[in-house]
Amino acid sequence: MGRIFEVRKATMFARYDRMAKQFSRIGKEIAIAVKKGGPDPTTNPALRRVIQNGKSVNMPKDRIEAAIKNALGKDTSNYDEVIYEGYAPHGIAVLVVTATDNTTRTVANVRSHFNKGGGTLGNSGSVGFLFKQVGVFKLKPEGLNMDDMELELIDAGLEEVGEDSEGNIIVRSGFNDFGNMQKALEEKGITPISSEVEWIPLNTVEISEDQAEDVLKLIARVEEDDDVQQVFHNMA
């Protein structure tokens, strides 16, 4: 019985840590969006997108509103998005997206994570060419027809329509068409579950399970950093 309790407690704390990380990430994205486009989501599509993403991870409404209010304060940190590039063990390329108010601290921490995980932090452009930046929109399938979706969204920059493991519709657009796709979905009365800009690998690398474990340990180490927003890799 004690063992079951310990497992449940560990699972609960892991879930809490994951939620706290998600809320922190959304909070920084709200700060960046507000600084760039103002606090009104009706006139700031970037903020509107981030608020929807916050709702998708069950971020409380009062925390979202507090993050917007804090972003307007004079003493609020100014976050910049900075991308770091490098290699994990076994030649796996990694992109690390950060939101930071102190790049000196962040680059030192990210380099330390790579070194301790058996990887190497590279220069800007060292692995970025192995990835493509795309817009990814997750939609509820109710009332939507995938064939019709493809025809209706081509002019908005649609590149691909598919499904995820949970049966949600996944719409991908080119990075430069992200805003066009967001607008097209809104005009059709479709509110995405979430919408993100992601880096997908142009080609993936096959490695063994033992090698993959080494890579995943490094990625987990990097993702725990408070400044890190997202991590992408080209491991199959």
For the segment 194-206, what is each residue's pLDDT rounded down to a tens digit?
999 999 999 999 9
pTM: 0.84
- Condensed to tens digits (0 to 9), the pLDDT of residues 205-228 reads 999 999 999 999 999 999 999 999
Per-domain residue ranges for the chain? 2-71, 80-129+203-233, 130-201
List, in sequence order, every residue forming a beta bridge with 173; answer none if it has no partner: 135, 158
- Condensed to tens digits (0 to 9), the pLDDT of residues 36-59 reads 999 999 899 999 999 999 998 899
Q: Which helix (H) or strand (E) holds 150?
A: helix 146-153
- Matching CATH topology for 2-71 and 130-201? no
**Percent of the chain with pLDDT strictly greater than 70:** 93
Q: What is the pLDDT of residue 74?
A: 73
User: So what's the architecture of 130-201 in CATH?
Assistant: 2-Layer Sandwich (3.30)
Q: Which helix (H) or strand (E) holds 173?
A: strand 169-174
Question: What would the two tokens of residue 197 be?
Answer: 């800009």
Sign of the C-alpha dihedral computed for residues 133, 202, 165 and 148 taken in this order:
positive
Residue 63 has pLDDT above 90, yes or no: yes
- Condensed to tens digits (0 to 9), the pLDDT of residues 135-188 reads 999 999 998 888 888 888 999 999 999 999 999 999 999 999 999 999 999 999
* 25 vs 13, higher pLDDT: 25
Please report where in the chains the tokens 């919408």 appear, as a residue: 195
List, in sequence order, every residue forming a beta bridge with 80; answer none if it has no partner: 100
Q: What is the CA radius of gyration of the chain?
A: 19
Q: What are the φ/ψ torsions at residue 225 (nearest 5 degrees)?
A: -65, 135
Question: What would the two tokens of residue 46 be?
Answer: 């970037």
Pairwise CA distance, residues 62 & 21, whole Å: 17
CATH 1.10.10.200, applies to 2-71: yes
**Could you tell me the fold of the domain covering 80-129+203-233?**
Alpha-Beta Plaits (3.30.70)
Q: Report residue 73's pLDDT band, with 50, 70 and 90 as the boundaries.
A: confident
Pairwise CA distance, residues 171 & 145, whole Å: 12
